[in-house]
């Protein structure tokens, strides 16, 4: 948060910011409408359970090669993206959990409530590793296209 102005200047200059997980992007990025929700850490222990995450833009370059299982572990909240932003993932209620905002600033914000880094580093949530194995190369290609 102390670097909020540096990040805002970067966006105003046309830069890109990627904010994932519980970084509380609403506290340090402009134009973020975030609603925190209680996290169900153990929903997956029921074999019939479905968290309800959907890839709503499977043809988007950031989603290339991903399936529902790669983007499903648990949720921390949802966004109300601005009109014109491109929603890529939604929760069971159809609320945005990953979107690209090319409309709020001269730059680009890629925002998600998914927190892959923590769980990848903790070695107990394989979906996060699969997500990062696809998302990072997709992001690199997307930004250099």
Domain residue ranges of the chain, discontinuous segments joined by +:
4-143
Supply 111's token pair.
């925002």
Burial 45-77 (b: 16+ CB within 10 A, else e): eeeeeebebbbbbeebebbeebeeebbbbbbbb
What is the share, in percent, of the chain residues with pLDDT greater than 70?
88
Write down the pTM of the prediction.
0.90
Q: What is the pLDDT of residue 42?
A: 65
User: What is the per-residue pLDDT across 45-71, written as a single tens digit (0 to 9) for each?
Assistant: 677 777 789 999 999 999 999 999 899
């Amino acid at each position: 948060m102390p670097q909020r102005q540096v990040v805002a200047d970067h966006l105003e200059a046309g830069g890109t910011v990627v904010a994932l997980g519980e970084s509380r992007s609403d506290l340090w990025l402009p134009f973020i409408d975030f609603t925190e929700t209680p996290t169900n850490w153990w929903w997956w222990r029921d074999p019939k359970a479905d968290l309800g995450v959907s890839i709503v833009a499977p043809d988007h370059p950031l989603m290339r090669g991903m399936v529902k299982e790669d983007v499903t572990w648990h949720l921390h909240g949802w966004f109300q993206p601005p009109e014109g932003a491109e929603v890529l993932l939604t929760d069971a209620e159809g609320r945005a959990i990953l979107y690209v905002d090319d409309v709020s600033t001269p730059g680009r914000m890629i925002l998600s409530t998914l927190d892959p880094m923590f769980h990848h580093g903790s070695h107990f949530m394989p979906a996060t590793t699969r997500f990062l194995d696809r998302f990072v190369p997709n992001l690199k290609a997307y930004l250099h296209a």
